[in-house]
């Protein structure tokens, strides 16, 4: 009897201590954090949100993988915990055995096959996510639709396993938070959206707080330093087969973002064996210094921010510098600026909206409506376009009543 009482007392003590340590860990987390430099793109297929989120995260770590290539690497299964369920071009919103998508484990497994350090998790907490974002590690999360409420359901696979699923399951990438909200990159559009923490947690909880955590490539053992500290640091590096920006940068003690900027490498950050990379910023050449007709990109800059500060039209800057969507610019990049006499038309001058528009490639309805200053929901309703709101090559849509 005494032995049982002692065991019970030990359990009570353990339970009373654990929450205190957990609260202490939470208090060490910053009240807000944001991962800059993450680029999202719109998914190409109706049910490819998981693949889109995965390749965007891989690109953040310096891996160049196409959405189609990644999707083709997923196994097929009637169990989303084992592989992709259904046809990627089928309508969205259903649960197995109808076309559905895939859960975290197959995504993490395929990312690892590319050399990325990735793992699937369920039952995570809000502090777990805060820890990842504060450390600069984006997280793929499974939510319901556009962070909607949802109802968990159980589906029995052909093997007799009971699997938790939900209608309208969708993936986004968590890249930031503050005291009241989260910042998510929506795989549907590639845009960054903001939601309250309360709504996010309710939507994320439907599929048991499922996520894929990444830490870039597995860290290699530190290399033995050269025998003499007098030897100068190398100025260049020749790319080898299997190299990625992040792998090279980690090995040499840089950040992959700086390495990309020094070599003017932009999304999707493709490297080729034999390519020679500079390992330091280029020195300014002697001669004329940059004039008011140029601008050197600073950390945290984006095209719209620069255009507003200089009272220029961002589209003119993009055209002058051959920048295309998603208009990615890197620290240290020198942009040419439109001459004052060729400044853009006044910002309130409307863009002429055609009556019809024909897509010449796979395009996002969101991006098209944004370009012409239209309400994408009205355009979708006018043309009976449903999720994932993508236009197929050759598809014609009406933009005016």
pTM higher than 0.75: no
Q: Does the pLDDT value for residue 391 go beyond 90?
A: no
Write down the CATH superfamily of domain 294-340. LysM domain (3.10.350.10)
- At residue 216 the predicted structure's pLDDT band, cuts being 50, 70 and 90, is low
Instruction: Report the DSSP beta bridge partners of residue 171.
Output: 142
Question: In the CATH scheme, what architecture does the domain 33-214 have?
Answer: Alpha-Beta Complex (3.90)
277's tokens? 């990379």
Q: Please provide the average confidence, as pLDDT, over all residues in the chain.
A: 79
Each residue's pLDDT tens digit, 36-58: 778 899 998 889 999 999 999 99
Q: Establish whether domains 236-278 and 356-398 are of one fold.
A: yes
298's tokens? 């600073």
Question: In the CATH scheme, what architecture does the domain 236-278 have?
Answer: Roll (3.10)
Cα separation, 89 vs 106, whole angstroms: 19
Each residue's pLDDT tens digit, 78-135: 999 999 999 998 888 999 999 999 999 999 999 998 888 899 999 999 999 999 998 8
Could you tell me the residue ranges of all domains in the chain? Answer: 33-214, 236-278, 294-340, 356-398
Pick from 1-5, 11-15, 185-189, 332-336 the range whose average pLDDT is largest.
185-189
Q: Does the pLDDT value for residue 321 go beyond 60?
A: yes
Mean pLDDT of 361-378: 74
Rg for the chain, CA atoms, rounded: 25
Q: Which helix (H) or strand (E) holds 126?
A: helix 126-134
- At residue 376 the predicted structure's pLDDT band, cuts being 50, 70 and 90, is confident
What pLDDT is recorded for position 347? 47
**Which of these CATH numbers, 3.30.300, 3.10.350, 3.40.1350, 1.10.4100, describes 356-398?**
3.10.350
The H-assigned helical ranges of 81-207 are 104-113, 126-134, 197-204
Give 294-311 as a DSSP string: EEE--TT--HHHHHHHHT
């Amino acid at each position: 009897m005494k032995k049982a009482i002692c065991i019970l007392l030990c359990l009570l003590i353990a339970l009373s201590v654990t929450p205190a340590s957990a609260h202490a860990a939470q208090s060490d987390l910053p009240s807000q954090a944001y991962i800059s430099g993450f680029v999202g793109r719109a998914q190409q297929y109706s049910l490819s949100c998981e693949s889109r989120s995965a390749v965007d995260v891989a690109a953040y770590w310096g891996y160049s993988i196409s959405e189609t290539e990644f999707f083709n690497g997923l196994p097929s299964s009637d169990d989303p915990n084992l592989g992709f369920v259904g046809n990627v071009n089928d309508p969205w919103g259903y649960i197995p055995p109808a076309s559905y998508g895939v859960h975290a484990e197959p995504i993490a497994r395929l990312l690892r096959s590319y050399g990325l350090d990735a793992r699937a998790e369920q039952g995570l907490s809000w502090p777990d996510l805060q820890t990842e974002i504060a450390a600069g590690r984006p997280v793929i999360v499974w939510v319901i639709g556009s962070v909607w409420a949802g109802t968990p359901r159980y589906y029995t696979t052909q093997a007799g396993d009971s699997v938790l699923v939900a209608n309208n399951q969708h993936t986004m990438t968590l890249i930031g938070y503050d005291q009241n909200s989260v910042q998510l990159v929506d795989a549907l559009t590639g845009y960054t959206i903001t939601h309250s923490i309360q709504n996010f947690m309710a939507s994320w909880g439907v599929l048991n707080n499922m996520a894929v955590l990444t830490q870039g490539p597995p860290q290699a053992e530190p290399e033995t330093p050269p025998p003499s500290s007098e030897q100068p640091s190398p100025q260049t590096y020749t790319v080898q087969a299997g190299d990625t920006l992040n792998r090279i940068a980690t090995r040499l003690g840089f950040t992959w973002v700086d390495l990309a900027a020094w070599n003017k490498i932009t999304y999707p950050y493709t490297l080729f064996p034999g390519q020679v990379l500079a390992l330091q910023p280029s020195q300014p050449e002697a001669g004329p210094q940059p004039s008011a007709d140029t601008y050197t990109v600073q950390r945290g800059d984006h095209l719209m921010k620069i255009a507003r500060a200089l009272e220029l039209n961002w589209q003119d800057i993009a055209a002058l510098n051959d920048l295309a969507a998603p208009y990615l610019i890197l620290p240290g990049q020198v942009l040419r600026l439109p001459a004052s006499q060729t400044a853009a038309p006044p910002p309130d001058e409307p863009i002429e909206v055609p009556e019809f528009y024909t897509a010449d490639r796979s395009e996002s309805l969101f991006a098209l409506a944004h370009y012409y200053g239209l309400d994408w929901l009205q355009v979708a309703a006018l043309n009976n376009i449903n999720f994932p709101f993508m236009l197929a090559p050759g598809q014609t849509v009406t933009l005016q009543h």
